[in-house]
Structure 1
Amino acid sequence: MDIAQNAALVVVDVQQGFEEAGYWGTRNNPSADDNIAALIDGWQASGRPVVFVRHDSVTPGSPLRAGSEGNGFKEYVERRRGKGGGAELLVTKSVNSAFLGAPDLGAWLRDAGISQIVVAGIQTNMCVETTARMGGNLGYEVVVAFDATYTFGLEGPFGWRQSADELARATAVSLHGGGFARVVTTEEVLRAAE
């Protein structure tokens, strides 16, 4: 795997509100935060561009709603913002895809001549997956650092319930097997980016 010198790291919704277990339920992948931090550090040290995406929820009572404490980035992300040698962008959104936020992520990537993105963040099967799928549809080479994502269990139709691990695995299979993205580990990404 090759990681381009100008590949953008897209850090999706790593916000304090996702710490509210009473609202979200049981999460998976406890090492995700360390892996996200390692990716940001690696990108900033190499001078590659980093995109920080924040979800401004319009759902009443959401821990991610605009203006709430939970809307802010987790401390380890906030501490790293503005520290890299490369370009940095803040995208805010109220839907699942970072490509439908403001400012226009696609336009920013095109203007910078960036054709490869590495996606990490929260939730694996929601905003990470939607951003990766849309990126693939728009013609970007998308890499998902799977172990730098996490999600929560969810109930769907017919009383079906999927655990966080089951949902994350389904996302990985759909993205990778469906040709939307290459799903790899943080270690693989950082090694390829050296």
Structure 2
Amino acid sequence: MENETIYIRMRLRLQSLPDSIITIGDLAQIIGQDKLVNKIAKLAVYQIKKSDRNIVVIDVMKVIATIQKYYPTIEIQTIGPSQTIIDVVYKKKKPTIGLIALVWFLLFVGSAIAIMNFHEDVSMQQVHQKLYFIMTGNNLEKPLLLQIPYSLGLGIGMILFFNHFFRKRLNEEPSPLEVEMFKYQQDLDQYVIIHENKEVMKRIRS
């Protein structure tokens, strides 16, 4: 195995149960001779502890050190990210129907109030009245001919904007909300890597 070379690409995120033993095969994709890759993939790198709470960050240097401990002559080439974030998944209680109904009610009322306040701020009813007068020449307090299609269009527009109808995606293009959530997740991952990765934090003691 003196001339063997393996290529390692760390995974960005990984979900694990408490007290699980994390192997190199869990943390990274490995390319090399099949027999050697199978052996390396089974090497244990870390065991999840209760003190780890919800997040553990494993650095590629820890993976390399583990491989060199058992196979010191192998040449290791790393590609891609240098850390893997492990999300420790604990058993969660299933939400009750009452809690789901309460959350749904709060979201429904909150969004309805937000939409009504927006329309009140921009005087949408007066806009509809003026448009109806321009189109028909008649003054009408409630121009339903405009208000009903506008209300339907508002709902359809929100479905198209978020690119989802309940759980069904309309097309493969990500919605603006998904893009913003992706950016937020990237920032969160970067924060976690810097503050949770013990390998990159060096404390200088006086």
Q: Per the shorter chain, which TM-score range?
A: under 0.3
Greater fraction helix: 2
**TM-score, scaled to structure 2:** 0.23
**TM-score, scaled to structure 1:** 0.24
Specify which structure has the bigger relative contact order, considering alpha-carbon pairs within 8 angstroms and separated by 6 or more residues.
1
